[in-house]
Amino acid sequence: MLSAFVTAIRTPDLRRKILFTLGIVVLYRLGAQIPSPGVDFANIQSCVAQATGGDAAGLYSLINLFSGGALLQLSVFAIGVIPYITASIIVQLLTVVIPKFEQLRKEGQSGQAKMTQYTRYLAVALAMLQATGIVALAARGQLLQGCELDIIADTSVFGLLVIVLVMTAGATLLMWFGEQVTERGVGNGMSLLIFAGIAAMIPVEGNNILQSRGGVTFTLVCIAAAAIVTGVVFVEQGQRRIPVQYAKRMVGRRMYGGTSTYLPLKVNQAGVIPVIFASSLLYMPFLVVQLTTGQEEPPAWQRFMTEHLMNPSSPVYIILYFMLIMFFTFFYVSITFNPDDRAEEMKKYGGFIPGIRPGRPTAEYLSFVLNRITLPGSIYLGTIAVLPNVFLNAGSGDVQSIPFGGSAVLIMVVVALDTVRQIESQLMQRNYEGFLK
C-alpha cells in the first residue's frame, strides 16, 4: 500500500487531485476555527468548556460532530454541509412524487444538472433558516444552556443579521468546496468534508475520555472502536457477484462478446448516505422545539419531543433512528440502482444471466436479489449507528464519546474505503499497482 501511495504521488495529474483535495480540507478546517463577526470568542470557548457533557452538548452532539466542532463555536462554517444534505433528501423524495423531477432524472446529464441547481437553491434557503435558528438560540442564551456569559456581543437586529448572512455564506462556500472536490479532486466532496470534521474531533474527545474516565475506560473505548472498524471493513467488502454472459455478435467485420463477467451487488449498496440522511432528519425536532420554546408551560407535543425525540438514550429515539436508516437504505438503493435499466442495458449489449431470460425476468431476478441483500445491509447500518445510543441508555457511555461510536466510525471507514477505491481505479488506468490487494 505504501508503494502504491508513492506511485500515486509521483503521477502528476493524480498528485494534483490529491493536493487539491487536501487544500480544500485545510481551508475547511481553517474556516471552522474562525468565529463569526460579533461573536465573543473568549466567552464562547468558556461556555463550550462548561457545556461539555451537558444537555446542550448532548442534543447538539451529532450536528456538532458533522461540523467538526464548528457549530458550538459559532464559526464561519458553523452550519456545515447539513443543509445541502437535507436539500438532497428533499429533492430525491420529490423525484418520486413530482413527475417533472422524475423526467429530469431520466434525461441524463442535463436533467441531473437541473436537479443539482434546484438542490443548491434549496440548500441556501435551508442554510439561512438554520443559521437564523442557531443565532436566535445563541442570542436568547439557549444554545449553550447553563452558561451565563454573553457569547454574542452585538444583539441588535443588524448584528444578528450579519452573523446569519456570514453563516449562510459559509454553508454556501462549503457546498461549493464539496462540488469542487468531487469534480477536480478525489472522492466524494461532501463525504470528505464530514470525514474531516469527525477526524478533527477524535483527538479532543479522546483526551476528554482519558481525563474524565481514566486510562482503563479509554483503552476499552479504543478496543471497541477497533472492533467496530474491523466489522465495518469486513461487511463493506462483502458483495454478491451475479454471473453475466455476453453472447458473441458481429459488428462490421469484428466479433464482440463471448466473455463472462459478473455484476457485483454490495451488501451495503447505499454506503453511508442513509445514516447521514437519518441524522439530518432527527435534528429537525430539536430545532423546532428550541425555536418555539417560551416562558410558559410547554404543551404536550413539546414535552413528548423533548423526552423522546431529543433524547439519544430514549427507546423511541433509538427505534426511530433505526427505522429511518432502514427506510433510507431501501430508498437510496432504489434510486441509485434500477433493475429495469440494468436489465435493458444487458439486453442491449447481448448480456444475460445464465438460467434467466433477458428482459423482464432479468429485472425481476435482480430486484429479488437486491432486496435480499439490502435487508441485512440496512440492519447492519442501523445496528452500527445506534450502538452509542444503546450504550448511553445502559448507562455505560457518554454521548461526548460519539466520535468513537458507531455512526462516526461507519462514516469514516466507508468514506476512506471509497476514496481509496477511486485512487486505485485511477492507478489501474495507468497499469500501476493499486492500494487494495
Judge whether residue 426 has pLDDT over 90. no
Residues 174, 260: Cα–Cα separation, whole Å: 44
Whether 436 is covered by a domain: the verdict is no
Judge whether residue 171 has pLDDT over 80. yes
Residues 232 and 379 occupy one common structural domain = yes
Question: In CATH, what number is assigned to the domain containing residue 232?
Answer: 1.10.3370.10
Residues 122 and 65 occupy one common structural domain = yes
Q: What pLDDT is stored for residue 47 in this prediction?
A: 73
Kindly state the average pLDDT of the residues 367-392.
83
Q: What pLDDT is stored for residue 299 in this prediction?
A: 73
Lowest-confidence range among 18-22, 100-104, 143-147, 409-413? 143-147
Judge whether residue 309 has pLDDT over 80. no
Residues 11 and 107 occupy one common structural domain = yes
Kindly state the average pLDDT of the residues 242-253.
72
Q: What pLDDT is stored for residue 397 in this prediction?
A: 45
231-240 pLDDT, tens digit per residue, is: 888 888 888 8
Total domains present in the chain: 2
Q: What pLDDT is stored for residue 294 in this prediction?
A: 57
Whether 152 is covered by a domain: the verdict is yes
Kindly state the average pLDDT of the residues 294-318.
72
Which of residues 251 and 274 earns the better pLDDT score? 274
Residues 153, 211: Cα–Cα separation, whole Å: 32
Residues 223 and 154 occupy one common structural domain = no
**DSSP string for residues in 131-184:** HHHHHHHHHTT-SSTT--S-SBS--SHHHHHHHHHHHHHHHHHHHHHHHHHHHH
Residues 19 and 166 occupy one common structural domain = yes
Kindly report the number of other CB atoms within 10 A of residue 63's CB atom. Answer: 22
Q: What pLDDT is stored for residue 124 in this prediction?
A: 92
Kindly state the average pLDDT of the residues 103-131.
85
Instruction: List b or e across 349-382, with b for residues whose CB sees 16 or more CB atoms inside 10 angstroms.
Output: eebbbeebebeeebbebbbebbeebbeebbebbb
Judge whether residue 2 has pLDDT over 70. no
**DSSP string for residues in 178-234:** HHHHHHHSSS-HHHHHHHHHHHHHHHHHHHHHHHHH-HHHHHHHHHHHHHHHHHHHH
Kindly state the average pLDDT of the residues 91-104.
80
Which of residues 91 and 288 earns the better pLDDT score? 91
> With bands split at pLDDT 50, 70 and 90, how would you rate the model's confidence at 76?
confident
Domain boundary among 185, 205, 224: 185
Judge whether residue 168 has pLDDT over 90. yes
Q: Which three cell numbers stand for residue 34?
A: 474562525
Residues 402 and 257 occupy one common structural domain = yes
> With bands split at pLDDT 50, 70 and 90, how would you rate the model's confidence at 165?
very high
Share of the chain above pLDDT 90, in %: 8
Share of the chain above pLDDT 70, in %: 79
Residues 253 and 358 occupy one common structural domain = yes
Residues 227 and 376 occupy one common structural domain = yes
User: SS3 for 35?
Assistant: strand
Whether 34 is covered by a domain: the verdict is yes
Residues 242 and 178 occupy one common structural domain = no
Judge whether residue 3 has pLDDT over 60. yes
Kindly state the average pLDDT of the residues 207-229.
79
Domain boundary among 185, 206, 237: 185
Q: What pLDDT is stored for residue 391 in this prediction?
A: 61
Q: What pLDDT is stored for residue 122 in this prediction?
A: 92
Kindly state the average pLDDT of the residues 177-201.
86
Residues 140 and 221 occupy one common structural domain = no
Residues 22 and 168 occupy one common structural domain = yes
Residues 99 and 218 occupy one common structural domain = no
Kindly state the average pLDDT of the residues 409-434.
75
Whether 47 is covered by a domain: the verdict is yes
Which of residues 25 and 133 earns the better pLDDT score? 25
Q: What pLDDT is stored for residue 194 in this prediction?
A: 84
Whether 269 is covered by a domain: the verdict is yes
Residues 178, 189: Cα–Cα separation, whole Å: 4
Whether 190 is covered by a domain: the verdict is no
Lowest-confidence range among 45-59, 214-228, 346-360, 383-397? 45-59
Whether 192 is covered by a domain: the verdict is no
User: SS3 for 359?
Assistant: coil
Residues 34, 76: Cα–Cα separation, whole Å: 6
Whether 208 is covered by a domain: the verdict is no
Q: What pLDDT is stored for residue 254 in this prediction?
A: 67
Bridge partners of 35? 75
Domain that holds residue 40: 1-185
Mean pLDDT, all residues of the chain: 78
